[in-house]
Structure 1
């Protein structure tokens, strides 16, 4: 039985519908215009379902039906559901990158909630940027909210091989470039690698971020890893609908759930799962929206103490998210690292994290390892710093060859994506496996939007020689499904004149992951001379959203949020008096 702190008179929606005045009469009249009797909505919590479905988002294609399951749960619990569409952010279709629009979704979600007669919100997302975008918006809006993850798609299949989205695409594409796979075979791979609705079923950014949402406490227990095509997903949606109504009566808001300790839990869980490098940017932004100064140091510290125990590609070598769910899912994984978690943090259930995961079992010890039999005792992510990246850069040691943990090699520099893409296909490119490929002007402002270009292709010349990994460095991001020795998120980015802009082809760069260092072997005097000669590139935008983005986007180490959306500009839940 819900312990009520709210009464019908104190519901937020009552400010729209309860007063006996002309303005509220208009609100009531327009609801009745749509065929709803006052008995259906008056004195009941009004629940927004913020749905990121669209016809071009395969990750969310089932949301057109799942929204009805959420509505069913809300109605069963005595609430009144209203569906509010939001920008879909299809990772596979949007150019130059959905990262350009993550903050737009966050603003849209916040304002949808703030401007409507909403008492609580169900957030329907899953594709990479929708999880952080929706949660950032809900955090700033401050009403009770619960997250419904889209769920991973089913395993891929081609010629009897189990395919993992993204990871196997990169692998087999190199084989096609090397002449080992025909065009006809490639079409078979395209059709087999993604064969149901849902997000990438590797441990990419989508599964990383939904796991983080669960670890923070914003989803129902176990919700983050349910396959999209599994009937458990339908039941989870209706249960989330029922639960949000209880959360409204309890006045259980994101501010009570999203403590610093809950974000520390999320970081620990991300490390144990062999998370996407994108987790760093998103969690920093989400935490700071909630008022907590999470930064790169928190991730690096967690990487030192939390082993990778989820044997899921690309950090793992065999399994996918479907296997992870049937092995016990996230509650089982969290139970295995419970000594590294704050178990007293509150969740959307109204219970603590510790209560939610108590008794969770692992059903396959190869999919979810013990800490003693971890895939990697440390190293899911590492934060490197040095004269080329004074504010930090990121590498995923668990997904690259160990010979690159300590490496010195000459830089081969590209200033833009098209020239790099063209050059790596040339058979006469002057490159060796010891080179460090550099792509710059691809960061938050330079990309624009920091596209997933950081997994630079291995030059075709080297692919034909059998090379499948080499050091690559960029101020861009890479897909969470990617792998290899890729150094990403160089901060500050080259486009705004960071030291990364000063690297020249032939310069030697030294990387030492154990020492968390990266160094451009060029004297300070020479760097100062190059800095004096550097000229800013032309603006990416001259008008509209892109112009606003360029003026206000922060760097990767600060989460790439807009500066004016930080809590310094006003605490979460603050509503202007005009409302």
Structure 2
């Protein structure tokens, strides 16, 4: 066995070692703190206010049993938990804070290995960012999607059907009472959203990066096999500590490129771009938006899952799971990156049958032939913007139309349903002031509601552009993450209602028909500037002062790069 990091706390006859051992015995075996048994922290994001992660205490118990069985000593370590549906103004405001707090606790404690329990959108990214920064052996346990609920005999996709049903209620095609009635059926039980939203996407990302036991991602939260795999993870982390296999050995540049391919093949969330960039930044890996276009371009969407398709996560699992999808694109994956088992990911892709080809399409009959996340650039987005073509309307992927500009979320809500709003189906809805600094936290408001008067005419999609994000469960022709954001002086700050906007996804372009000098000479709209965030204290102040732009992952500038696991001072 390699020298245990925890031995620095527990070995010796001095007062410090005495204190460390005495306070941690608590009925554990005599040799639990003698410096010979790996100390494993179970970084647990369970919280009653993170409803998708409520069940993770049960999962942690299974992990503990596995750690004990393998000769390690497990400890439950509650860490910051972010409930996507609950916290205001947006969970993304605290992703970096959660990662920073986790990193500090991982480094400060006598820990040799980590099991990372996540589920809801920001929890797996924050855990991976922290583990990358400390670079202690670590494995992810994804909490799994919930089973599918039904309303009036139809399957409900979490999030996706909220957006759909709310628009139908606004259009008057279903009653408000029916809309509220569906609420009781939306969430069937434990687990995160059952669509290929951000939570499911980040589980796929963790597996494609090599940070889970292969075959774990997508296991439903209610499935007994999730607890079995959690037990196996507890055993495996002890092996990782013995082998000295660290996140930096697993999450290489090629592993990130594999993750991009995986996201494209499952029709994953645009939020994965932000999180992958941030995780890579913690490892010092030069991952850029261009890598998403290069690695994801030409990858077919094979998983027919909402919001891009028809089915849900428990359908994917019964059809063969994530590995069955990746087996279809094995030739597009780098063969070298290893997983937490020490074996390459591609070794697990042979003999992976597809049991339902309506859910997992073949390469010669894909759901969409080329629909990886596309990166657009032009005078409206010099540092890039992104769109998810698989969730967009094909007829809008090339579009020219006049801008209808909203200076803030409040402005948009106040005017979007105004009968006097000058808007047609050809208009391009533009929302600014919602980037990392502007809001702050870059909320999921990019998929703006459509004007009520257009809904009444049967319009169900329009081109929408913003410096915001959008829920991974959402859909539509929505251009996101425009960089630089308006609050950072990006061109989005200077566009005006009536300017002609051109979108051409095939050519990867996004532009406004205004001369560059004229655009810059306009100055920012007073209404926009007055709406930008201006916090004076606390985390929000630190965040606004140090957050980077979307094209680099919106991490804090002083957190980029790994800090390692060394504690340099001893206080006792």
Normalised-by-shorter TM-score class = over 0.9
Give the whole-Å Cα distance in 2 for the aligned partners of 1:115 and 1:229.
Answer: 34
- SS of 2:189 mapped into structure 1: coil
Within the candidate set 448, 455, 461, 1:463 is matched to 455
Match of 2:387 in 1: 395
Count of paired positions: 567
Give the whole-Å Cα distance in 1 for the aligned partners of 2:269 and 2:335.
Answer: 24
- SS of 2:225 mapped into structure 1: helix
Match of 2:167 in 1: 174
Within the candidate set 284, 299, 303, 2:292 is matched to 299
Moved more, 387-396 or 296-305: 296-305
Match of 2:399 in 1: 407
Within the candidate set 197, 203, 209, 2:196 is matched to 203
Within the candidate set 542, 546, 559, 2:540 is matched to 546
CA positional deviation for 1:188: 2.1
Give the whole-Å Cα distance in 1 for the aligned partners of 2:229 and 2:183.
Answer: 30
- SS of 2:76 mapped into structure 1: strand
Match of 1:422 in 2: 414
Match of 2:109 in 1: 116
CA positional deviation for 1:334: 1.1
Give the whole-Å Cα distance in 2 for the aligned partners of 1:48 and 1:466.
Answer: 54
Give the whole-Å Cα distance in 1 for the aligned partners of 2:565 and 2:237.
Answer: 21
Give the whole-Å Cα distance in 2 for the aligned partners of 1:272 and 1:514.
Answer: 18
**Is the aligned partner of 1:441 residue 2:449?**
no
Give the whole-Å Cα distance in 1 for the aligned partners of 2:291 and 2:109.
Answer: 37
CA deviation string 1:20-56 (max 9, x = no partner): 2111001111113x33342334321010001001111
**Is the aligned partner of 1:288 residue 2:281?**
yes
Give the whole-Å Cα distance in 2 for the aligned partners of 1:177 and 1:379.
Answer: 30
Give the whole-Å Cα distance in 1 for the aligned partners of 2:77 and 2:103.
Answer: 12
Give the whole-Å Cα distance in 2 for the aligned partners of 1:419 and 1:139.
Answer: 40
Within the candidate set 46, 52, 58, 2:45 is matched to 52
Within the candidate set 560, 568, 571, 1:577 is matched to 568
- SS of 2:544 mapped into structure 1: helix
CA deviation string 1:155-210 (max 9, x = no partner): 12100011101111111111111122223212221111111111111110111111
Give the whole-Å Cα distance in 2 for the aligned partners of 1:302 and 1:252.
Answer: 26
What does residue range 42-441 of structure 1 map to in structure 2 within 5 Å? 42=34, 43-316=36-309, 318-441=310-433
CA deviation string 1:135-166 (max 9, x = no partner): 01001111100000010111121000111011
**Normalised TM-score (structure 1):** 0.96
CA positional deviation for 1:245: 0.8
CA positional deviation for 1:533: 8.3
Within the candidate set 509, 514, 526, 2:506 is matched to 514
Match of 1:563 in 2: 557
Moved more, 360-369 or 241-250: 360-369
* Contact 1:177/1:460 (<8 A) preserved: yes
CA deviation string 1:447-468 (max 9, x = no partner): 1100000000011111111100
Moved more, 280-289 or 523-532: 523-532
* Contact 1:41/1:79 (<8 A) preserved: no
Give the whole-Å Cα distance in 1 for the aligned partners of 2:565 and 2:22.
Answer: 29
**Normalised TM-score (structure 2):** 0.97
Give the whole-Å Cα distance in 1 for the aligned partners of 2:546 and 2:150.
Answer: 44
CA deviation string 1:109-143 (max 9, x = no partner): 21111000000000000111111110010011111
* Contact 1:139/1:255 (<8 A) preserved: yes
**Is the aligned partner of 1:493 residue 2:485?**
yes
Give the whole-Å Cα distance in 2 for the aligned partners of 1:81 and 1:533.
Answer: 55
Moved more, 532-541 or 138-147: 532-541
* Contact 1:496/1:536 (<8 A) preserved: no
CA positional deviation for 1:577: 3.0
* Contact 2:136/2:565 (<8 A) preserved: no
* Contact 1:345/1:353 (<8 A) preserved: yes
Pair 67,576 (structure 1): closer, same or farther in 2 beyond 3 Å: closer
CA positional deviation for 1:380: 2.8
Give the whole-Å Cα distance in 2 for the aligned partners of 1:539 and 1:306.
Answer: 38
Moved more, 101-110 or 117-126: 101-110
